[in-house]
């Protein structure tokens, strides 16, 4: 079945450092790919998405490119802020079905 694998956390960075959170997936067909963010005590918020190969999703300085050849969707940000501290989930929505399949999440901690 479809699955998503994320790098384990926590990822600890200083403010203004470069961020990469790795995400790879297994799916049949052409899934849509998502990054969601979860702040403490809150639900999930859609951060960005890409629906086809080579698409780049971007939002709030975060970017991720849909790489079908490597089945990856790595999240990057050039300069993180303390307010980016949260748990980040990579997810896919498979072809022909509605559910989201999530990775286990990666906690990001940014210190001043």
CA distances from 58 to 10, 27, 38 (A): 23, 23, 17
Question: Which of 21, 27, 101, 110 lies at the binding interface for another protein (CB under 8 A)?
Answer: 101
The smaller minimum CB distance to another protein, of residues 101 and 110, is found at 101
DSSP alpha helix (H) spans, 7-71: none
Nearest of 107, 112, 92 to residue 40 by alpha carbon: 107
Q: What character string, x for contact with another protein (CB under 8 A) and - otherwise, covers 30-49? A: --x-x-x----xxxxxx--x
DSSP 9: S
Question: Which of 57, 62, 105, 110 lies at the binding interface for another protein (CB under 8 A)?
Answer: 105
Q: Where do contacts with another protein occur on this chain (CB under 8 A)?
A: 4, 32, 34, 36, 41-46, 49, 89, 91, 93, 97-105
């Amino acid at each position: 079945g479809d699955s998503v694998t994320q790098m384990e956390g926590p990822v600890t960075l200083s403010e203004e450092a470069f961020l990469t959170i790795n995400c790879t997936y297994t799916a049949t067909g052409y899934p849509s790919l998502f990054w969601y963010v979860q702040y403490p005590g809150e639900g999930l918020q859609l951060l960005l998405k890409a629906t086809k190969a080579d698409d780049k999703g971007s939002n709030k300085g975060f970017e991720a490119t849909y790489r079908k050849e490597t089945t990856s969707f790595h999240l990057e940000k050039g300069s993180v802020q303390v307010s980016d501290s949260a748990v980040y989930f990579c997810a896919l929505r498979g072809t022909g079905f509605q559910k989201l399949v999530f990775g286990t999440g990666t906690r990001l901690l940014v210190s001043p």
